[in-house]
A and B are shown apart, each in its own frame.
Chain A
Amino acid sequence: MGVKLLLEKAHIPGIRSYDVYRREGGYRAVEKALKEMNPESIVEEVKKSGLRGRGGAGFPAGMKWSFIAKPEGVPRHLVCNADESEPGTFKDRYLMEFLPHLLIEGLIVSSFALGSNDTYIYIRGEYAWITNILETAIDEAKANGWLGKNILGTGFDCNIHVQRGAGAYICGEETALIESLEGKRGNPRIKPPFPAIQGLWQRPTVVNNVETLAAVVPIINMGGDEYAKIGVGRSTGTKLISACGNINKPGVYEIDMTISVEDFIYSDEYCGGIANGKKLKACIPGGSSVPILPANLLLKTAKGETRYMNYESLSDGGFATGSMMGSGGFIVLDEDQCIVKNTYTLARFYRHESCGQCSPCREGTGWMEKILQKIETGKGTSSDIDLLWDIQRKIEGNTICPLGDAAAWPVAAAIRHFRDEFEWHIQHPEEAQIRNFGLQHYADPIHVPA
């Protein structure tokens, strides 16, 4: 059993309610932070903890906090990014659904550290029932003096509001989220200025992911140094992984980032192996936008070393032979899955979710989808693969926000590692309609150069 910091108490009956949560030691972090610490020392602890943003980018949270501008007389805001929309990712949902008070507790401490008196949770619109759970938790916290005016007699005022989105992946991008929170279309802003200087209503703003803010609770309780001892290297603490696809036990798992990918997939404590006794073909280890890896490169790095479930190991080899930790959305594909079709559905997703503001993303995502659909339906030609490669290359890095990259990477990685499957689709259009390419060599051991 690995260390559990966030989900340790998730299975206690009634933990969703304030009374049980409090009885189990909840809100101790708020007491400690507000009474024994000051905003600067909280930021210091978070810096020491090495906590990296859990939304996907992995940017050090303490450093992000230290960037917030503090102009005299201008309110500052903390915004919680609960717009979880990256295909393969459903960890924040789990956390909010079962441990709403853990998030509220993290939000109060973080709001105090950042000086935010009005904190917003921006939750994806489809999570309508979770909005109710959170609002109930907020009411309970308020009724018990953890929110509102003069919290714990410290003079600190804080209110938390929940705003539902309305169906737009792009609002997970922090400036698009801010635009949406201002009641506008979710068009990402052109940066600079960064939200830490001019964010919500042009005020200094910090946007953090749900899991990041929840992790502040154990960091305050145990101290940043202790938190940093968990994990390995720059991957400190624990990480929630949402595992899905063709595995025996899909679900949300908390890992301490020292576990190997192989153990995570095959051990009974986690994914429990590939469903229906099938073989592993490929995996997208960090949410749909990160590069897909064939089985051989997933379990071992190109150097033949064991690959672990942490930021550094998953990205070992760069995009040529590695992938990314991303948001922790772990999508497993078995031997029966078609890479072309999978890539096509992802390309369709990104086309659907492009805001349409900048030309490479607006036009490029639609073009890639059309070509992939053409190959998938048996009408592809041999030049299509190179064309796809060229289009993704021209989107990547040239857009306003990372959605362009997110749309380009899955296509690039699919072609990089599964080009023969694309070619087979094009050369055998009729056969490709009735059967899939199958496993072929993907499960072969890596050849380690001498």
Chain B
Amino acid sequence: MSEQNLFKVTIDNITIDVPAGTTILQAARKIGGQVAPPAMCYYSKLEGSGGKCRTCLVEVSKGSEKDPRPMPKLVASCRTTVMDGMEVKNITSDKVIDARASVVEFLLINHPLDCPICDQAGECHLQDLSFDHGKAGTRFEFQKRTFKKHDLGKNIQLHMTRCILCYRCVFTADQLTQKRVHGILDRGDHAEIATHIEKSLDNEFIGNVIDVCPVGALTDKTFRFKNRVWFLKPMDAHRDCPTCSGRVTLWNRGDEVYRVTARKDEWGEIEDTPDGKPGWICNTCRFDTKNANDWVIEGPRAINRQSVIAQGHYQGTVGMTKPQETFGAINDGRTPHLLMDIHDESEVNKNEDYISKNNIENA
């Protein structure tokens, strides 16, 4: 990349040089931490995605060196390319913080509060977004929207009430599978993901819709209600797969493989394989290869994104503080009492639990 093709952009007072054509969001991700706006619909590996959820709105306080006028409205950072000399305010803008809180509120008014029984809980982007930008309580006093249930077959579970209509799964089916059988039907506030006639989603690679879904609308039926993600140990593993790269994350308890997903980066997106292509995984690896012996375990997976799973290894990261409380402190020195013996206490509560340990080492 020659010097001329680099644009200087300043986001939240941090200046960075990026190639022309880079979006504000991608530039902000290069800086990292909380300077990167949250993205619920944009997905860098899916062409055409973004612009819809409005969570990544930012304020452009200076358009460019040539035309320093500010942009009149907040812009979707995922779909706006940087100009040379552009100045952007993300968390340093009150307008942005206000707009983002509004979007969280809009996304939540019809979203069910079923996190306790939702398989996505713990790795849900809407939970993260609400935690960072939402407000306690709700001003919405009407009945939440419901939909007729649709069965998408043996592998994928659809909970339409949780959907935020990001369209990622539609782009995934268009760009990864041979033929798209599901889509967005109807319009407005009753638009929904469906196949129209009951069809199962079983085209090769369609399982990736689960990984791209930011919420619990599309979850893995083979993992449904089997465990909570924060009780599982993510392990990088691979196998010789004729269809995909075979590079996955196994979610284990003991020796048992509960779930197989693609490997995700700190933004929650599918990580690239060493050859630089997105590491989408095939349906066989995801749904039908749950025997630990089928995999070559590489080692524990560091979960870098902010989530419940990653709690405990986030010291020093912008905007995130490790909770100071311990069970002991909360309970006046009494030790916690297990209500249900659904997991081995030693695995979850031990200080040297090696998921955390490993991540502390990596941090």
Please list the residues of chain A having a beta carbon within 8 angstroms of any beta carbon in chain B. 168, 185, 190, 351-360, 362-367, 370, 387, 394, 397-400
B208 to chain A, nearest CB (A): 22
Closest to B104 in A: A359
Given A359-B107, A362-B165, A398-B54 contact (CB < 8 Å): yes
Nearest Cβ distance between residue A390 and chain B, in whole angstroms?
Answer: 8
Q: Which of these, B98, B106, B186, contacts A363 with CB under 8 Å?
A: B106
Identify A185's interface contact among B51, B98, B106, B184, CB under 8 A: B184
Q: Which residue of A lies closest to B167 (CB)?
A: A357
Q: Contact check: which of A370, A394, A397, A400 meets B142 at CB < 8 Å? A: A370
A398 and B74 CA atoms in complex are apart in Å by: 7
Interface centre among B167, B184, B187 (most CB of A within 10 A): B187
CB atoms of B107 and A356 under 8 A apart = no
- Are the CB atoms of B165 and A357 closer together than 8 Å? yes
* Closest B residue, CB atoms, query A363: B106
| Residue B109 interfacial (CB < 8 Å) | yes
CB–CB B106/A355 < 8 A: no
The answer to whether A398 touches B102, judged by C-beta atoms less than 8 angstroms apart, is yes
Are B139 and A387 in contact, CB atoms less than 8 angstroms apart?
Answer: yes
The contact of A356 among B53, B73, B79, B165, by CB within 8 Å, is B165
5 A-B contacts (beta carbon < 8 Å): A351-B188, A358-B54, A362-B191, A366-B188, A397-B74
Within B9-68, the residues touching A (CB, 8 Å) are 50-55, 57
Q: B189 at interface (Cβ–Cβ under 8 A)?
A: yes
B164 in the interface (beta carbon within 8 A)? yes
Name the residue in A190, A367, A398, A399 with the highest tally of chain B Cβ atoms < 10 Å from its Cβ.
A398
Contacts of A362 in B (CB 8 A): 106, 165, 188-189, 191
Q: How far is it, in angstroms, between the C-alpha of A168 and the C-alpha of B188 when the chains are bound?
A: 11
B103 contacts A398, CB within 8 Å? yes
Question: Are A359 and B188 in contact, CB atoms less than 8 angstroms apart?
Answer: no
Residues of B contacting A351 in the complex (Cβ-Cβ under 8 angstroms): 188-189
Query: Do B189 and A360 touch across chains, with their CB atoms under 8 A apart?
Result: no
A355 near B187 with CB under 8 A, answer: yes
Name the contact of B79 in the complex, choosing from A168, A190, A363, A366 (C-beta under 8 A).
Answer: A190
Complex CA gap A354/B57 in Å reads 20
| CB-defined contacts of B99 to chain A, threshold 8 Å | 394, 398
Smallest beta-carbon distance A371→chain B, Å: 8
Interchain CA distance A177-B105 in the complex, whole Å: 30
Give the CA-CA distance A298 to B149 in the complex, in Å. Answer: 50
B357 CB → nearest A CB, Å? 39
Q: By the criterion CB–CB under 8 Å, are A354 and B52 in contact?
A: no
Is A190's CB under 8 angstroms from B191's CB? no
- In residues 129-165 of chain B, which contact A (Cβ within 8 Å)? 139-140, 142, 164-165
Return chain B residues, CB-CB under 8 Å to A365: 188-189
Does residue B355 face the partner (Cβ distance < 8 Å to A)? no
Instruction: With A168-B187, A356-B188, A362-B106 given, name 17 new contacts (CB 8 A).
Output: A185-B184, A185-B187, A190-B52, A354-B189, A356-B165, A356-B184, A359-B165, A363-B106, A365-B189, A370-B142, A394-B105, A397-B74, A398-B57, A398-B99, A398-B103, A400-B54, A400-B76
Distance A354 CA – B189 CA, assembled complex (angstroms): 8
CB nearest to A350 among chain B residues: B188
Output the nearest chain A residue to B143 by Cβ-Cβ distance.
Answer: A370
**Residues of the A chain whose Cβ atoms lie less than 8 Å from the Cβ of B73:** 397-398
Give the contacts of B168-188 with A (CB-CB under 8 A): 184, 186-188
Complex contact B50–A190 (CB within 8 A): yes
CB atoms of A356 and B191 under 8 A apart: yes
Instruction: Kindly report which residue of chain A lies nearest to residue B184, judged by CB atoms.
Output: A185
Query: A359 contacts B106, CB within 8 Å?
Result: yes
How far, in angstroms, from A198 to B221 measured CA to CA in the complex? 41
- Give bound CA distance, A190 to B51, whole Å: 6
Checking B109, B164, B188 against A355 with a beta-carbon cut-off of 8 angstroms, the contacting residue is B188
Q: How far is the CA of A399 from the CA of B188 in the complex (A)?
A: 13
Give the 8 A-B residue pairs with the shortest CB-CB distance, closest first: A190-B51, A394-B102, A356-B191, A363-B106, A366-B189, A354-B188, A356-B188, A359-B106
Alpha-carbon separation in the docked complex, A296 to B343 (Å) = 72
Say whether B307 faces chain A, with CB atoms less than 8 Å apart. no
Instruction: State the CA gap A355–B140 with chains docked (Å).
Output: 22
State whether B110 touches A363 (Cβ < 8 A): yes
* Complex Cα spacing A367 to B188, Å: 12
Contact B189 A359 (CB under 8 A): no
Q: Is the CB of A353 within 8 A of B54?
A: no
A residues in contact with B110, CB < 8 Å: 363
A399/B54 in contact, CB under 8 A: yes
A363 with B53: CB separation less than 8 A:
no
Q: Are A359 and B74 in contact (CB under 8 A)?
A: no
Say whether B51 contacts A359, CB under 8 Å: no
How distant is the Cα of A168 from the Cα of B79 in the complex, in angstroms?
26
